[in-house]
Amino acid sequence: MAKLNNHKTAILALLIIGWISALFIESSQPPLLILGEIKGLDKVAHFLAFTVLGLLICALSFKLHPRPTIQLFSMPLLIVIVIGILEESYQMLTPGRASELMDLLADACGALFAILLANGIARIMRTKNLIRLD
């Protein structure tokens, strides 16, 4: 198991905290006008934002517990979905913002995509001997 004082682990944790903070700061603002002008762009933004969050959490997961793959229904998925629920709940309480179940679905799809992408990247890196499982 990786030591928590490892610099790369700490940087990943800080990136995750920063990304989550950015999500909540963005949720505190009125939505961008362009998101209302182009149908479905809001869902794409949710998907991409939570794909990035999912990738960061998957990277930390690989760092803390090296293993061949991350299971599709795993702790990174649960963490991202909980953050999505918290963010949508926060939007319900924020004036000028609305919470939608479809946004949460886009968040979850982004998390699932991140897990699949992280597993694919890990598989490629293992075959090229760029990473080792200790």
pLDDT in tens, 32-60: 666 667 777 888 999 999 999 999 999 99
3-state secondary structure 69-84: CCCCCCHHHHHHHHHH
Of 75, 52, 51, 53, whose CA–CA distance to 64 is shortest? 75
How confident is the model at residue 1, as a pLDDT? 44
Radius of gyration of the chain (CA): 16
* Res. 2 pLDDT band, cuts 50 70 90: very low
- pTM recorded for the entire structure: 0.84
Which two three-digit tokens encode residue 96? Answer: 């000028």
Residue 3 CA to residue 84 CA, distance in Å, equals 28
Q: Which residues contact 66 (CB under 8 A, 6 or more apart)?
A: 2, 132, 133, 134
How confident is the model at residue 35, as a pLDDT? 66
Residue 134 pLDDT greater than 60, yes or no: no
The average confidence (pLDDT) of the chain is 85
Residue 102 CA to residue 94 CA, distance in Å, equals 18
Give me the mean pLDDT over the 95-110 stretch.
89
**No. of helices (H) and no. of strands (E), the chain:** 5, 0
* Res. 132 pLDDT band, cuts 50 70 90: low
How confident is the model at residue 41, as a pLDDT? 84
